[in-house]
Amino acid sequence: MNFTHLHVHSHYSLLDGLVKIKPLVKTAKERGFSALALTDNGSMYGAIEFYKVCQAEGIKPIIGFKAYIAPRKLTDKDLEKDKEWYTLILLAENFDGYRNLMKLSSIGHLDGFFNGKPRLDKETLKTYADGIIALSGDIQGEVQQLLKANKIEDAKKTAKEYEEIFGKNDFYLELQDHPAIEGQIDVNTKLIALSEATGIPKVVTRDVHYLHQDDAEAQDVLRCISGGLRVDMGNREDFRHVDRSLNTAEDIMSRFRHVPDAIENTVKIAERVNIEIELDQWHFAPVDLPPNKTSDETLRDEAFACAPHFYPEMGDEITDRIEYELEIIKEKGYSPYFICVADYVRYAKDNGIVESTRGSAAGSLVSYVLGITTVDPIRFKLPFERFLNPFRPSPPDVDTDFADDRRDDMIAYVTKKYGADKVAQIITFGTMAARAAVRDVGRALGLSYSFCDQVAKLIPQGAQGFPMTIERALKEEPDLKKLFDSNDDVHRLLTLAQKVEGCARHTSIHAAGVVISPTPLVDFTPVQRESGGDRILTQYSMYDVEAAGVLKNDFLGIRNLSILGKAVEIVQKTTGEEVDIYHLPLDDTKTFDMISRGETMGVFQFGSSGMIRWIKELRPTNIDDIMAMVALYRPGPMDFIPEYIKRAHDPSTIDYPHPDLEETLEKSLGLLIYQDDVMLTAIKLAGYDWLEADKFRKAMGKKIPELMKEQEKKFKDGCIANHHPRELVNDLWERIKPFATYAFNKAHAASYGIVAYQTAYMKANYPVQYMTAILQAEASDIEKVAAIVHEGSRMGITVLPPDVNESFKNFAMTSKAGEPGKIRFGLTAIKNVGEHICDMIYRERKEHGQYTSLENFLERVTDKDLNKKSLESLIQAGALDCFHQDRGVLLANIENILFYSKHQKEQGVTNQGSLFAGTTISLDDSVVLKDAPVATMDDKLLWEKTLLGIYVSSHPFAKYEHLFRNALTAMSDIEHVQRDEWVITGGVIDAAQKKITKKGGVMMFVTIQDNTGSMEYLVFPKTFEKTKDMWVVGNVVVVVGKTPREEGDNKIFVENVYLLTPENAASVAGQVSLGTHVERAAKKEAEKYVTIPVSKEQLKNSAGALKELFAAHPGDARVYFEVEGQSVRTETFVHEGEALEQAISGLLEIR
C-alpha cells in the first residue's frame, strides 16, 4: 500500500503556505512519493513552475487548487448573507480538466471575488466539471460543516449533489489527518459512515503548508503578518498546535489503518491523473491578414513596400539582408508576431504617442523598415543574429517603450483590437526580501520597531541580480553574527525570518509585460484582477506564461518619452512647427555643443554628475560617441572611458586587437565596448557559431568563476585552433573580461543613444518648450521641480508663480517668439486648491477672456469650491497678483472678499439683482479693501514654499548672497568639487532628522537648500553637541564642512555652522571669506603655480583649446584660474615659462 498527498499548499497560497515549489517537490521525492498535488488557495500561480519542477525530478504533477464555494450564487455579495464560504479541492485529471481549472479559477477571481476570496458556485462547477476530480475539502467544506452541525441528512444530500456535479468516482469525501483541529476526529468518523451510506469513495489528506514539523511557528508568524496580528494576541487562531507538515506515507498510514480504501484511493487518483501541458510552443496574436495571404507573405509584402521609404536605391545589400531576415523569421514561424508589433507601433506613431525600442530588436532591418525600431541597423552595423538566428531557441523579444502618460492608451488599443478576453498584463509577486522579512517577523513577534530596524540595517544591501539573504549576511557581517549568537530575541527573529524569507507576499503588475493570445487567454493561463483595481492580469508570471504558450509583449512606460512628446506638442502649439523626432538630423551643431558644455540636465541618460564630467572631456561630435558613452558609463567598462576619449581626440592612438576585427570595432575606436563586439570576436577568431556566442555572452555575464574558466579555455582553444598566436589570444581575453561582465547590447546602446540625442536636440533647439515639458512631467516631484527651475534660470528662462490670468492647470510656456523664456506654474500646483476649482477658473477664462479685476474674477467664478481655504491659497501663492493688489492686504481682507464672493453666488442662485436692479446704481460693485501691512519678501517666500513646495519669487538666502562673494560653493557645484575637500555652503534648512548612533550618541541628517539645489548634510555627535540649537527648519545658515572621500557620494560632513540674521550676516561673511582667502593663499604659497585671469565666457569658449595647450606644456606648476574675482584651483600642472605665457595670451587675447 502507498499514499499520495492530494491537498498541498505552497508559498503561492499568499502569507499562508510556507514552502517554495522546488524544495517542496525535492522533499516529496526524498520522502518516497512518486506523485504530488499542488492545491493553492483559489489560484493557480505556481502550476507551471510546479509542472516543470516535477518533470525535472521525475515526479507526477497533480495540478489543482482549493476552491471557495459561495453559499448562494457567486454573483450574490450581501455582506451578511454571503459572508460565509465553503472549501473544495479541485484536481485536474487530464488536459481538459486543467483547462477547466484555469477557467474556474478565472471566474472565481473575475466574477465571484468577495471578502478577499475568489468564489465559485455549484452551477459554475457543473458547467466546467469535465476532467476534474473533486475532494470535499478541509473542515470548512460544506459536507464537513453540515456533519459538524450534526445535520446528517443535509450532509448526505449535499454530498450526492457534488457527486452529481462531478460524476461517480470523481467526487471524494476527504478525511483529514489533523486530530488537533477541534471536531476533526468526529467529522472523520461521520465521513466514513457517510461514505458507507452513499457509496461515495473517501480519501485521506493532510492540509500541507510546510515541510517540517518545526516550521509550524514560522507558518503561524506568516498568518500573523497576513492579518496584521501579533503572536501574543489571545483572540486569534493559533496555527502552532496543528501539524501541517509534509509527513511520510508511513506516518499518515499508521493513523488510517482502519480505512485502507481511503489510503488506496489517493494512489488510484494519482494513477488516473495524466496531464500533458505543451510547453514553449508559442501562439501569437490573431493578426488581420489580406484575403488568401499567409502571415509570411503579408510580412514580406509589407517589408518590401516600406523599405524604399528608408532606402530609395534599394541596393543588393538591403534586399539581401531583408530576404535573409524574412527567411529566418519564416523558418521560426514568427511572422504574426512582427505583424502584430508593427501594427501597434504604427498606431502609436499615428496618434502622437512617442515610441522607442530597447534591446537587440534594433538589429533587425525588417523591424526598422516596418517602423518597429528607430535605429538604422545598416548605419550602425547592428547584427540581426544578436536578435534572432537559426540556432536561437528563445522567441523574439521586441521591447517597446512608450510615453508613460500614454501607455494605458496603447494597452486599450490592443485590448479593443484583439478582444478583452485575449489581452492581459502579466502578474508579478512581491517577495519578502531579507530586511523586509526581519521587519515583518519582528512586528508579528511584538518586538519594537527600532529593535527590528537596527537588526535589519545590519543586513548588507544586495547587488542587482544577487539579492542578499539572511544566511549570507550572517557569514559576511560579523556584528550580525555576534548578535545572533548572543541575543535570544535576535536569534529567534532571524531563525524565523529565514523561514519566511523569499515567500510571495502579494501580487503586483509587471512594469511592461502584456500578453495577447489567439483564443481566449484562459486557454493558456488563468486570469484575475489586479489587487484593488480593475486591470486584468495573468495568474502565471512572465516566464511561466511564456512557457504556457503566449508571448510577452513589452509595453514599458518611459518618462523621457512623455517629455519628448509634450515638447513636440508645445513646439507645434507655440511656433506652428512640426518636429519629426524620428527623422532628426544626426549632425546638429547646437545639440553637440550643448552636450559638450555639459548642459545636459533633463537629457536622457546624460544628466548625472559623473556622466557630465566625462562628456565635457569627450566633447562628442557624432551619434557614435553618444552611443559609446551610454554603453561605457557603467561599472566595469567605465574604466575605459579615458582610453576612449584619448582615441577620440587622437586617432593615431587607435589600434585593433586583430586586423579581422577592424570593421567590427571601427566605430568603437578599436575598443570592445558592446556585447556584440565580444560575440563577433568569438565568432571571427575562435570559430563560434551564434548559439555558442550567445552562451558565451550569458556565461560571462553571470560572473560565476567556474563558468568563466570554462569559457576562457573554450575561447582560447578556439583561437589557437584557428592559428592565432597565444600572446594575441591572452591579450584578447584580458580585453574581453571587463566588458563581457557588464557590456551593453549594441542595439540597446544605439536605441538609448537615439533617445538621448532626441532629448538633447529638443533642449538645444527648443529650450523653453523642452523645459516646460520636463516641468509638466515632473510636476509632482518637488525636489526635481526645484532643480529644473534652477536649470531654467541658468538657461535664462524665468519660472513664474501661478496666475489666474495666465496659468493653465499644469506648467505652461507663456513667452512669445522673440521674448525671453517664461514658464508659468500651473494652478493645480497650489496646495488646498482642488483640481475642480482650477478647472473652473481655467475654463471660464478660456471661454470668456481674461479676468479684468478681483471683482470680475469673483463674479465669474462662483463655484462652491472657491472657498476661504482655496482663496487664501490663491492669494498667498501669488495667483491673484495680476489684479495689482498686495498679497498681505488681500489676505487681511479675506472676510470682505468672501462676503463679496458669497453675494455673487447668491445672486447667481436667485437670479435677482439688488434693490436697484436695472439701474446704474450698485451697492456692491467692488470689494472693500481696508488698509493693512503689505507682505514682506519673507512672507511671500514662506507662503510659496508651503503652497508650491519651492521658493519662486526669490530665495531666503538671496539677501545674504552678495556679502559672501566668492567664498561659497553652490549646491549644484558640490559634485564637481574634489573629494575630501573643505567647502563652505549656505542656504535654508529644509529638513532635519535626529538619529541615534550605535554608541548611543545623537547625530543629525539635515537637508539644506540654496537657489541651485539641495544637499544632505551629516552632523556627527561631537559637532551636534556644539550646534544643536541651529538645526531648525527654516533657519538660514552657512556651513563649513568636508566632501566625502568616495566618488559619487554627494553629501557634506559638517564641521561648523553659522546661523545668519540681518544683524550678523556681514560679520559671518567676513570670517568665512577671510578663512577662505587665507587657506587659498597658504596653499598657493606652498606650491609653484600659474594664475590665469579669465572671464566666465572666455573659460567656457576656450576650455578645450586650453586643455590641449596645457597638455603640450607639462610641468610642476599648478594652474589657477582667476574667474571674475574667484580663484579656481585645478588639478592641471604645466611648465611655467614665456612660451606658455605667449600661447595663453594669444589664445585669450590677454593684453
394-426 pLDDT, tens digit each: 778 889 999 999 999 999 999 999 999 999 999
- pLDDT given for residue 709 in this prediction: 84
The yes-or-no verdict on residue 267 having pLDDT over 90 is yes
Residue 749, phi-psi category: left (phi > 0), alpha (psi -120 to 50), beta (remainder): alpha
Q: Which CATH architecture has domain 429-509?
A: Orthogonal Bundle (1.10)
Cα distance between residue 1032 and residue 1035, in whole Å: 6
Distances (CA, A) of 1006 to 986, 989, 1033, 1043, 1051: 13, 7, 9, 15, 10
- pLDDT given for residue 849 in this prediction: 95
| Three-state SS sequence of 85-126 | CEEEEEEECCHHHHHHHHHHHHHHHHCCCECCECEECHHHHH
The yes-or-no verdict on residue 24 having pLDDT over 70 is yes
- pLDDT given for residue 560 in this prediction: 93
Residue with cell 494597452: 411
Cα distance between residue 547 and residue 278, in whole Å: 8
* Strands 355-358, 202-205: pairing kind: unpaired
The yes-or-no verdict on residue 1067 having pLDDT over 90 is no
- pLDDT given for residue 920 in this prediction: 41
Contact 63, 88 (CB under 8 A): no
- Report which secondary-structure segment, H or E, holds 541: strand 536-541
What is the per-residue pLDDT across 163-204, written as a single tens digit (0 to 9) for each?
999 999 999 999 999 999 999 999 999 999 999 999 999 999
Phi, psi of 1036 (to 5 degrees): -100, 125
The chain-wide mean pLDDT, for the chain, equals 90
- pLDDT given for residue 941 in this prediction: 92
Cα distance between residue 260 and residue 267, in whole Å: 11
Contact 131, 274 (CB under 8 A): no
- Cα of first residue to Cα of last residue in the chain, in angstroms, is 106
SS3 breakdown of the chain: % helix, strand, coil, rounded to 5? 50, 15, 35
- pLDDT given for residue 1082 in this prediction: 43
Above pLDDT 90, what percent of the chain? 69
- pLDDT given for residue 910 in this prediction: 56
Positive or negative, the Cα torsion across 866, 870, 871, 875? negative
Above pLDDT 70, what percent of the chain? 95
**Of 1089 and 537, the one with more pLDDT:** 537
**Of 459 and 742, the one with more pLDDT:** 459
For 112-259, where are the alpha helices, taking DSSP H only? 122-127, 142-148, 152-166, 184-198, 216-227, 249-254
**Of 94 and 690, the one with more pLDDT:** 94
Q: Bridge-partner residues for 548, per DSSP? A: none
Is it true that domain 21-211+246-272 has CATH number 3.20.20.140? yes
* Strands 1013-1019, 812-813: pairing kind: unpaired
Residue with cell 520636463: 774
Class of CATH domain 958-1075: mainly beta
What contacts 168, CB < 8 A, 6 or more positions away? none
pLDDT level of residue 1077 (50, 70, 90 thresholds): very low
- pLDDT given for residue 1085 in this prediction: 45
Q: Is 358 helix (H, G, I), strand (E, B) or coil?
A: strand
Cα distance between residue 128 and residue 531, in whole Å: 26
Residue with cell 528662462: 797
- pLDDT given for residue 917 in this prediction: 45
- pLDDT given for residue 916 in this prediction: 42
Length of the chain as a residue count: 1151
Distances (CA, A) of 830 to 112, 876, 1010: 43, 9, 22
> Which set of grid coordinates corresponds to residue 1123?
574667474
Q: Bridge-partner residues for 552, per DSSP? A: 515
Phi, psi of 422 (to 5 degrees): -115, 0
- In this prediction, residues 738-763 reach a mean pLDDT of 87
- In this prediction, residues 17-26 reach a mean pLDDT of 97
- pLDDT given for residue 924 in this prediction: 55
Angle among Cα 457, 461, 462 to the nearest 5 degrees reads 150
Q: Bridge-partner residues for 1059, per DSSP? A: 1037
- Among residues 548, 478, 537, the alpha carbon closest in space to that of 513 is found at 537
Q: Residue 905 carries which side chain, given as an amino acid letter?
A: K
Contact 809, 835 (CB under 8 A): yes
Cα distance between residue 389 and residue 364, in whole Å: 11
pLDDT level of residue 1151 (50, 70, 90 thresholds): very low
- Among residues 239, 211, 212, 214, the alpha carbon closest in space to that of 225 is found at 239
Cα distance between residue 40 and residue 17, in whole Å: 8
Portions of the chain given CATH number 1.10.10.1600: 429-509
Positive or negative, the Cα torsion across 49, 52, 57, 59? positive
Cα distance between residue 869 and residue 873, in whole Å: 6
- pLDDT given for residue 973 in this prediction: 81
The yes-or-no verdict on residue 215 having pLDDT over 80 is yes
The yes-or-no verdict on residue 94 having pLDDT over 90 is yes
pLDDT level of residue 360 (50, 70, 90 thresholds): confident
pLDDT level of residue 922 (50, 70, 90 thresholds): very low
Portions of the chain given CATH number 2.40.50.140: 958-1075
- Among residues 788, 758, 756, the alpha carbon closest in space to that of 774 is found at 788
What is the per-residue pLDDT across 759-772, written as a single tens digit (0 to 9) for each?
999 999 999 999 99
DSSP state of 134: E
> Which set of grid coordinates corresponds to residue 985?
555652503
What contacts 408, CB < 8 A, 6 or more positions away? none
Q: Is 487 helix (H, G, I), strand (E, B) or coil?
A: coil
What is the per-residue pLDDT across 662-703, written as a single tens digit (0 to 9) for each?
988 998 899 888 888 888 999 999 999 888 888 888 777 766
Cα distance between residue 774 and residue 454, in whole Å: 39
pLDDT level of residue 1109 (50, 70, 90 thresholds): confident
- Report which secondary-structure segment, H or E, holds 290: none
Portions of the chain given CATH number 3.20.20.140: 21-211+246-272
Contact 39, 66 (CB under 8 A): yes
- pLDDT given for residue 1100 in this prediction: 74
Residue with cell 466546467: 128
- CA 808 to chain centroid: 30
The yes-or-no verdict on residue 1127 having pLDDT over 80 is no
The torsion of the CA quartet 510, 516, 517, 522, rounded to 10 degrees, works out to 40
